[in-house]
Structure 1
Amino acid sequence: MTAPSLEFNRVHIALHGRTLLELDARVAPGEVLTVMGPSGSGKSTLLAYAAGFLAPAFQASGQVLLGGQDITTLPAERRGIGLLFQDPLLFPHLSVAGNLRFGLPRATPDKAARVETALADIGLAGFGARDPATLSGGQQSRVALMRLLLSAPKAVLLDEPFSKLDTALRHEMRQLVFGRLRDADLPSLLVTHDSEDARDAGGQMIELS
């Protein structure tokens, strides 16, 4: 089956009658579209519109298409979109393995084996029983990424996911995240204010004023 593309068709978002952003763009499978801009420029608003949780205060029009299907009117949970945020947002009441199991579709066979393979794949073999709070920031980010991938999304939205990592870790995590998204043929939208993020993403970039 052909991997889907993510398209923004004449998307227009305004607040109190003032235009925040306008976007026409297509993100091919395995590519990352980076939207850069300072705080208040509308980056996170665009992400919220694509994900399906835009606040009612905003006025928005235009289509978000995934694999040619208009998902703009679908509820967030039916859009097939995965999200990575600034914080890993791991569930504190679940073990590392429990967090990964949560990402797996309900009908997945042999979840325990899938989880063990996934942990080994991100260099965390044997960490399944650990409390997420005992992991380093980089390790938590790896678990969050793998939980996202195990959920089998059709597209991914990235909300400054590297901004809270140490400088030394950021490049390594960018390489890991963007590499995995490419390998999975996932079209992705990255919002950031960091030009290094955009450079490592390697795709098209749109700068908001």
Structure 2
Amino acid sequence: MNDRHHLVLKDIHIALDGVTLLALDAEVGPGEVLTVMGPSGSGKSTLLAYLAGFLSPAFAASGRALLDGQDLTRLPAEQRGIGLLFQDPLLFPHLSVAGNLRFGMPRATADRAERVEAALAQIGLPGFGKRDPATLSGGQKARVALMRLLLSAPRAVLLDEPFSKLDTALRHEMRELVFGRLRDAGLPSLLVTHDREDAEDAGGRIIALE
């Protein structure tokens, strides 16, 4: 079990060309998922970019994002301790499945090979370590991407419509897997989506943007 982390968003304000896209105050406790819903262009992904540290300079942003009391907005992206899960799994094509999982693991991690095998078993893919990611199904790729994120030991997680490209039959299964893992790990998470079912399965507070 990871340490229990806490994310506080204070007076977040993001604008483009002088027009406010969003204004937000929220707290996300350990294992909770805050959902921000809205149509395309409402500022959902812009919010994630600001929190992750790669917001385009075209936007004006202010406010504080406190993770365990530390202001993330003062840190470079690589020091923020935030995990990201996107619409696409973004697995590295030149690495095996095991190589993808090892990529995000802290360098000091002991028993890396054993941890990778255990992680694959946990997501129902035992023995898949040597496989080429190109041979995996969409659902298998999504599970590997989730486990790669968890093995990187983040302190908070940002989810950018991670279920939108999955077949309808897979979405509920993947939501259960993702949200269950985040709860078990005690990770505060922020989900942006336009899908009401995503928000309902997340089980947390929902903020609707204009």
The alignment-based identity, stated in percent, is 79
Q: How many residues align?
A: 209
Structure 2 CA distance for aligned equivalents of residues 120 and 181 of structure 1: 17
Q: Distance in 2 between matches of 1:107 and 1:3?
A: 21
Residue 80 of structure 1 is matched in structure 2 by 81
Matching residue's letter, 1:132: P
Task: Map residues 86-101 of structure 1 onto 2, 5 A cutoff.
Answer: 86-101=87-102
Rounded Cα–Cα distance in structure 1 between residues aligned with 2:22 and 2:103: 35
TM-score normalised by length of structure 2 = 0.98
Deviation at 1:3, TM superposition (A): 1.4
C-alpha displacement of 1:2? 5.3
CA contact (8 A) 2:3 2:186 kept: no
SS at match of 1:191: strand
SS at match of 1:72: helix
Question: 1:182 maps to what in 2?
Answer: 183
Could you tell me which amino acid in structure 1 is paired with residue 63 of structure 2?
G
Q: Which residue of 1 aligns with 2:195?
A: 194
Q: Report runs of 4+ in structure 1 exceeding 4 Å deviation.
A: none
Cα displacement (A) at 1:103: 1.5
Alignment map for 1:73-152 (pairs within 5 Å): 73-152=74-153
Q: Deviation per CA, 1:8-52, whole angstroms, max 9, x where unpaired?
A: 100000000000000000000100000000000000000000100
Rate the CA distance shift 1:135–1:46 in 2: closer, same or farther, 3 A.
same
Say yes or no: does 1:57 pair with 2:62. no
Q: Contact 1:4/1:68 (CA < 8 Å) preserved in 2?
A: no
The alpha carbon displacement at 1:55 in A equals: 0.2
Equivalent position amino acid for 1:182 in 2? R
TM norm structure 1: 0.99
Q: CA RMSD in A?
A: 0.8
| In 2: Cα distance, 1:2 partner to 1:173 partner | 24
1:153 maps onto 2:148 in alignment: no
Q: Which runs of 5+ in 2 are unaligned?
A: none
Distance in structure 2 (CA, Å) of the matches to 1:91 and 1:68 = 33
How far apart, CA to CA, are the structure 2 residues paired with 1:124 and 1:117? Answer: 10
